[in-house]
Amino acid sequence: MTLLSLSDSRVALIPVVDTGEPLVALDGLSTRLRMDHSTEHRANLGYDLDFRARETVGVKLAKASLQLPDGFTLLVKESLRPSTLQDKWFREYRHKILAHHPGIAEDDANVLASRYVAPPSVAGHPTGGAIDVTLCDGEGRELNLGCPYDADEASSNGACRSACDTLEPQAAAHRRILFTVLGEAGFVNYPFEWWHWSYGDRYWAVVTRREHAIYGAVDMR
């Protein structure tokens, strides 16, 4: 089965008719929903995280958290991201690919880069419609879902892909829990990253066969 990448032209061709829906803070929406405010996480990403999302995304995320089995909590690692940062990360990852694959065609480098860092024009995080989320226990300790959040294919030996068949039973069970509650809430997963889910952005529109996306990039100035 061919996986739909963010470099696919179908994603870029989807028009955006933004609803103008406001952003809401994700903190406090549910007792089963946490944000990763740790100093270590902030240092790893290199910017001050903004745990806001579109209002409907917040409602759906809270709803999903309440469907979890006892002892499980959703842990959001990242949500709203500035478009300028998205562009910076895409260019840096693309440069890394070009350096590691001498002679690779520019278009091929763009395709590979787009699997793990979305081009700014189609990225979900700047719209307020995308979240990176994992599972933790009631004390906030992250659970095993096969590989660390934000790992790429090389560093994770393919475990970053949603449909990885080499996971340990416990990690596979945790993924099923995460995928069930988020999928039933209306989010779509990006198959190259088990932690990346979205609603309302261009990728969601393609997967759900909508005529247009309902969220465009948010002006964060």
Residue 4 resides in a domain: no
**Model confidence at 218: pLDDT above 90:** yes
**Model confidence at 221: pLDDT above 80:** no
pLDDT at site 19: 98
Residue 157 resides in a domain: yes
pLDDT confidence tier of residue 1, bands split at 50, 70 and 90 = low
Distance between CA atoms of residues 71 and 174, nearest Å: 12
What residue type is 49 in one-letter code? L
Range in 16-20, 93-97, 181-185 with the lowest mean pLDDT: 93-97
Structurally, the chain folds into a number of domains equal to 1
Distance between CA atoms of residues 7 and 52, nearest Å: 26
CB 58 within 8 A of CB 123: no
User: What does the DSSP 8-state code read for residue 215?
Assistant: -
Residue 216 resides in a domain: no
Residue 142 resides in a domain: yes
Q: Which domain holds residue 112?
A: 9-207
Residue 2 resides in a domain: no
CATH number for position 13 = 3.30.1380.10
* SS3 assignment, position 135: strand
pLDDT at site 135: 99
Distance between CA atoms of residues 90 and 96, nearest Å: 10
Tokens of 153: 């294919």
Residue 33 resides in a domain: yes
DSSP H/E element including 155: helix 153-156
Please name which of 126, 184, 175, 136 lies closest in space to residue 6, comparing C-alpha atoms. 126
Residue 120 resides in a domain: yes
Q: What is the mean pLDDT of the chain?
A: 94
Distance between CA atoms of residues 191 and 218, nearest Å: 24
